[in-house]
Amino acid sequence: MKKQLLTGNEAIARGVYEAGCRVAAAYPGTPSTEILENLSGYPEIYSEWAPNEKVALEVAGGAAIAGARAFCSMKHVGLNVAADPLFTIAYTGITGGLVINTSDEPGMHSSQNEQDNRYYARHAKVPLVVPSDSQQCIDFTKEAFRISETYDTAVLLRTTTRVCHSKSLVTMNPREDVPQRAYSKDLKKNLMTPGNSRPKHHEVEARLESLAEYAEKSPLNYIEGNSREIGIITQGIAYQYAREVFGDRASYLYIGFSFPLPKQMIRSFASGVKQLIVIEENEPFLEDELKKMGIPCMGKDRLPLCDELSVSIVANAFRDILGDSPLTIRSASEGLPPRPPALCPGCPHRGIFHVLSQQKDAVFSTDIGCYTLGAFPPLNVGDFLFCMGSSISAGIGFRRADISYGREDRKVYAVIGDSTFFHSGMTGLADVVYNRTPLVTVILDNRITAMTGHQHNPGTGCTLMGEKAKEIDIPTLVKALGVEEDHIRVINPNNLKACREAVQSAQEAKNPFVIITKAPCALLPEVKKRSAKNWFAVDPDICTGCKACLNIGCPAIRMREKKAYIDKDLCAACGVCFQVCSFKAISMGRKQR
Amino acid sequence: MAHKRDTTSIMLAGVGGQGTILAAKVLSEGLTRMGYDVKMSEIHGMSQRGGSVTSHVRFGSRVDSPVIPLGGADCLCGFEKLEALRCLPYLKQEGVLIVNDLEIYPLPVLIGAAEYPQDVLQRLTREAEGCLILDAHGEAEQLGTSRVENILLLGALIHRLDLDGFPWKEVLQDLVKPAFVEMNLEAFALGRSLA
């Protein structure tokens, strides 16, 4: 078969498909999102967006108990959300194979922390599989299903951004036809009460011993090259960097099956080389194990714990050993202005954020999504953030602390998007109502999960597989949670007058208050089509150059010859700038084409 | 690196929405069809949202890292001037530099918190001899839409790297939406002739 270029994510989806998987669930999160998007292209697999990662893993876990091969996927922090089912699915085991993908993000390109989820495998006592390119993403995924069924365990598949988002050549194979494995009611295996869990823990420990034996013969652990001078133990993308720097000057022990470790293989490899190096990204997961085994090696004494690894970092760290001369790097790029991501022209978050930014002595507990970008200048709507869904609950705590010190006057706003609200914001709002905390919650409903590239969610009326779905109506939900009807406002965030009235009412409210802004993301095709015809233009004769329109942080507006200027190609005709101009210098025009 | 290898590395640097990804896709698909080992990587923060974006394409008999090391790019194609300058540390000393003479202001510049440097082209030409400066945006606009500037730049890049002798037309036809094929073929041809 012809070789094709696939990203790691496309390749994992292909591996899941070829392995005969039947049920797959995920919550979108960079860099993992495209796996499920690609899986939804295979009609043989039921695939769904779950409201959060815990639900996704429970869906996959239930399917595995029923005897189907099942898969679930999430970004690294998603596994924190799904940790609860993970640790007990580790006890029940499976009927059909279960593979859980965690996509970690060294370098935090789109994440709030840099946790190394390889430790989850050891903590939950489940096997760990780590591929380094797209072909391995297919092959290791398929092997992970076999391991799962042979050893009656969920398997953790761990990738990182560079493996997920890089393309390399793969050979594809047909789908395996896997019959449903017979489910039989077995409470001792599948129902984890204390009486059943105690013997299960012993079984889990015994299973780890069998898996340690498998590690020694696993095709995922292999040696490359025959240098006896330098031996490198590595895995994941770090292997590619090591290979580029050391080439044939080293031999490699690739640890694709990395928990439990192939200890005999490691000992024998280590004894065959003069210098042993462990090259891994972020934490010393492998290196610490070697040290426990009493095997001396180089590694984190030279390589950083923080941020992404790279060819340059590896080359610099071992330059003395290799005797390579350093590359000359140009230095003409110092002091350049940064280009951070920004809210798009026409973004429906801009109007409400502009109004919120004018509230004096207000604190904004923000959340995870495009709207996190509103925390930065010029809008400055955002003070603190922990994780998905934390805005409302952390807002409660801030407000309660203020109240306990008599600071009733300082308003606290929780700002959260539609998908994040469904993910884990709803429980926070239940707390607000239950404990009567005078918090203002602003739910930004832009009708899509936008940040990760437009995925559907329970509020959009469409499933991952493209079927029509029942939309969960946020105002009805908020009412059902117990927020008083006259304390709920549903507004169009592009209408600044409506925003100001809603925020004014919220400022005066003594009880839990909810503002729901409803306007679709400016990048949705139907919105782009509508906005393509119109734009707003500045009349330079009227413009005074006061820069009020610059304060909304729209990438389409800039100063040109001391007057505001709107880029016609970028303008999405939301009209927010038109509303902030006190001199009526901005008016709507129609685009020619 | 003293270690000898035959990997050629091409970096496309631009701003989210400029079409660097499609250009990199066409390039890597063509190289795959030529029979090379190919790796391609996209690097961007928080999705795109107007931030810096780079695409890395590497090919040869065996490619290891999908990401180009500092000082390791045989060619840097800047879809925007400032982004070309930002990525200059990746360009090899004898590497080929192609720059789109286009300014896209980042948000800190738009809101007056930073200045867009006035000497970008001077710094680029001083650093890379024989630097090719193209008004790809303007040229593409004359063809009908600035949106094909990416394929115009790709045409220039392919000519500069002596990769002309391959049926790129077929790759473009396979990867570009049918309605836009013609305009992209025109842009590609124009890019080649300008290089």
Per-residue pLDDT, B2: 38
SS (H, E, C) A386-431: CCCCHHHHHHHHHHHHHHHCCCCCCEEEEEEEHHHHHHHHHHHHHH
Burial of A196 (0-12, 13-18, 19+ CB in 10 A): middle
Is A142 near chain B, with CB under 8 Å? no
Per-residue pLDDT, A203: 98
Per-residue pLDDT, A328: 84
d(CA A270, CA A264): 10
Residue A296: CA atoms inside 13 Å, Cβ hemisphere, count? 3
- Structure-block tokens of residue B192: 């080649």
Predicted confidence (pLDDT) at residue A73 exceeds the cutoff of 80? yes
Helix axes A83-92, A53-65, angle to 10 degrees: 20
B16 against A184, higher pLDDT: A184
| DSSP SS3 for A289 | helix
| DSSP SS3 for A35 | helix
What pLDDT, in 10s, does the model give residues A383-411?
A: 999 999 999 999 999 999 999 999 999 99
Chain B closest CA to A168's CA: distance in Å? 5
Predicted confidence (pLDDT) at residue B101 exceeds the cutoff of 90? yes
Predicted confidence (pLDDT) at residue A239 exceeds the cutoff of 70? yes
CATH number for the A221-322 domain, one of 2.60.40.10, 3.40.50.920, 3.30.2320.20, 3.40.50.1000? 3.40.50.920
Cis-peptide, bond into residue A260, ω within 30° of zero: yes
Task: Return the H-helix or E-strand segment holding A207.
Answer: helix A194-217
Q: Which residues are within 8 A (CB) of A189 and not within 5 positions of it... i.e. 6 or more apart?
A: A92, A93, A196, A200
- Residue of A490, A126, A7, A543 whose CA lies nearest to B38: A7
Instruction: List the single residue in B with minimal CA-CA distance to A161.
Output: B43
d(CA A573, CA A554): 11
Tell me the C-alpha to C-alpha distance, in Å, between residue A247 and each of A135, A162, A241, A315, B66. Answer: 20, 20, 10, 11, 15
Is A377 near chain B, with CB under 8 Å? yes
Contacts of B50 in chain A (CB under 8 A): 339, 341-342, 344, 555
Paired residues of A375 in beta bridges: none
Chain A stretch 194-233, residues whose beta carbon is closer than 8 A to a beta carbon of chain B: none
Chain A stretch 535-564, residues whose beta carbon is closer than 8 A to a beta carbon of chain B: 547, 550-551, 553-555, 557-559
A288-293 long-range contacts (CB < 8 A, ≥24 apart) are A289/A261, A290/A233, A290/A266, A293/A263, A293/A266, A293/A267
One DSSP character per residue, chain B reads --S----EEEEEEEETTS-HHHHHHHHHHHHHHTT-EEEEEEEESSS-TT-EEEEEEEEES----SSPPTT-EEEEEESSHHHHHHTGGGEEEEEEEEEE------HHHHTTSS---TTHHHHHHHHSTT-EEE-HHHHHHHHT-GGGHHHHHHHHHHHHTT--SS-HHHHHHHHS-GGGHHHHHHHHHHHHHH-
- Residue of A274, A272, A226 whose CA lies nearest to A251: A226
Least confident interval from A9-23, A226-240, A325-339, A561-575: A325-339
Instruction: List the single residue in B with minimal CA-CA distance to A556.
Output: B110
In the sheet with A230-234, reading across from the earlier edge strand, the strands are: A221-224, A251-255, A230-234, A275-279
What pLDDT, in 10s, does the model give residues B122-140?
A: 999 999 988 999 999 999 9
Residue range A349-526 forms a domain whose CATH class is alpha beta
Is B28 near chain A, with CB under 8 Å? yes
% of residues, chain B, pLDDT over 70: 95
Is B82 near chain A, with CB under 8 Å? yes
Predicted confidence (pLDDT) at residue B46 exceeds the cutoff of 80? no
d(CA B152, CA B155): 5
Q: Are B87 and B76 in contact (CB under 8 A)?
A: yes
Is A3 near chain B, with CB under 8 Å? yes
Determine the residue among A339, A354, A521 to mutate to test chain B binding: the one whose Cβ has the most chain B Cβ atoms within 10 Å. Answer: A339
Paired residues of A247 in beta bridges: none
Per-residue pLDDT, B4: 52
Predicted confidence (pLDDT) at residue B13 exceeds the cutoff of 60? yes
Domain B8-194 adopts which CATH fold? Answer: Pyruvate-ferredoxin Oxidoreductase; domain 3 (3.40.920)
Q: Are A290 and A263 in contact (CB under 8 A)?
A: no
Residue A6: CA atoms inside 13 Å, Cβ hemisphere, count? 23
- Residue of A414, A419, A427 whose CA lies nearest to A446: A419
Contact at CB, A341 and B50, closer than 8 angstroms: yes
Task: Return the H-helix or E-strand segment holding A166.
Answer: strand A166-170
Predicted confidence (pLDDT) at residue B47 exceeds the cutoff of 80? no
Q: If phi over 0 gives left and psi between -120 and 50 gives alpha, with beta otherwise, what is residue A484?
A: beta
Domain A532-590 adopts which CATH fold? Answer: Alpha-Beta Plaits (3.30.70)
Residue A236: CA atoms inside 13 Å, Cβ hemisphere, count? 32
Chain A stretch 563-582, residues whose beta carbon is closer than 8 A to a beta carbon of chain B: 569
Predicted confidence (pLDDT) at residue A531 exceeds the cutoff of 90? no
Predicted confidence (pLDDT) at residue B48 exceeds the cutoff of 70? no
d(CA A164, CA A47): 19
Instruction: List the single residue in A with minimal CA-CA distance to B109.
Output: A337
Is A333 near chain B, with CB under 8 Å? yes
Q: β-strand A46-49 against A98-104: which pairing, if any?
A: unpaired
Q: Which residues are within 8 A (CB) of A191 and not within 5 positions of it... i.e. 6 or more apart?
A: none
Is A243 near chain B, with CB under 8 Å? yes
Please give the angle made by the CA atoms of A485, A489 and A493, to the nearest 5 degrees.
165
d(CA A38, CA A42): 8
Instruction: List the single residue in B with minimal CA-CA distance to A135.
Output: B39
CB atoms under 10 Å from CB of A190, counted, come to 16
Q: Are A257 and A221 in contact (CB under 8 A)?
A: yes
The 10 Å CB-count burial string (b at 16+, else e) for B83-110 is: bbbbbbbbbbeebbbbbbbbebbbbbbb
Comma-separated ranges of CATH 3.40.50.920 domains in chain A: 221-322
Residue A155: CA atoms inside 13 Å, Cβ hemisphere, count? 30
Question: What is the DSSP secondary structure assignment for residue A183, as one 8-state letter?
Answer: P
d(CA A359, CA A440): 13
Contacts of A5 in chain B (CB under 8 A): 28-29, 32, 38, 40
What pLDDT, in 10s, does the model give residues A83-102?
A: 999 999 999 999 999 999 99
Question: What is the CATH code for A4-214?
Answer: 3.40.50.970
One DSSP character per residue, A428-488 reads HHHHHHHTT---EEEEEE-SSBTTTT-B--TTTSB-TTS-B-PPP-HHHHHHHHT--GGGE
Question: What is the DSSP secondary structure assignment for residue A108, as one 8-state letter?
Answer: -
- Residue of A357, A337, A342, A347 whose CA lies nearest to A551: A357
Is B63 near chain A, with CB under 8 Å? yes
ipTM comes to 0.95
Paired residues of B13 in beta bridges: B54, B78
Burial of A400 (0-12, 13-18, 19+ CB in 10 A): middle
Per-residue pLDDT, A292: 98
Radius of gyration of chain B (CA): 16
Please give the angle made by the CA atoms of A318, A324 and A327, to the nearest 5 degrees.
100
Task: Return the H-helix or E-strand segment holding A314.
Answer: helix A311-317
Is B123 near chain A, with CB under 8 Å? yes
A329 against A417, higher pLDDT: A417
In this structure, which amino acid lies at residue A209? E
Radius of gyration of chain A (CA): 27
Chain A stretch 277-316, residues whose beta carbon is closer than 8 A to a beta carbon of chain B: 310-312, 315
d(CA A248, CA A229): 11
Of B50, B89, B106, the CB nearest to A333: B89
Comma-separated ranges of CATH 3.30.70.20 domains in chain A: 532-590
Determine the residue among A33, A167, A370 to mutate to test chain B binding: the one whose Cβ has the most chain B Cβ atoms within 10 Å. Answer: A167
Instruction: List the single residue in B with minimal CA-CA distance to A454.
Output: B47
Contact at CB, B42 and A373, closer than 8 angstroms: no
Q: Are A124 and A61 in contact (CB under 8 A)?
A: no
CA end-to-end span of chain B, whole Å?
30
d(CA A516, CA A352): 10
What pLDDT, in 10s, does the model give residues A9-19?
A: 999 999 999 99
Per-residue pLDDT, A1: 65
Instruction: List the single residue in A with minimal CA-CA distance to B44.
Output: A109
Please give the angle made by the CA atoms of B106, A382 and A406, to the nearest 5 degrees.
155
Chain A closest CA to B98's CA: distance in Å? 16
Q: What is the mean pLDDT of chain A?
A: 96
Q: Which residues are within 8 A (CB) of B85 and not within 5 positions of it... i.e. 6 or more apart?
A: A332, A333, A336, B78, B117, B120, B123, B124
Predicted confidence (pLDDT) at residue A227 exceeds the cutoff of 50? yes
Contact at CB, B47 and A332, closer than 8 angstroms: no
- Structure-block tokens of residue B130: 């024989």
- Structure-block tokens of residue A449: 């999960």
Q: β-strand A128-129 against A155-160: which pairing, if any?
A: parallel
Please give the angle made by the CA atoms of A130, A132 and A137, to the nearest 5 degrees.
75
Helix axes A194-217, A83-92, angle to 10 degrees: 80
| DSSP SS3 for A42 | coil
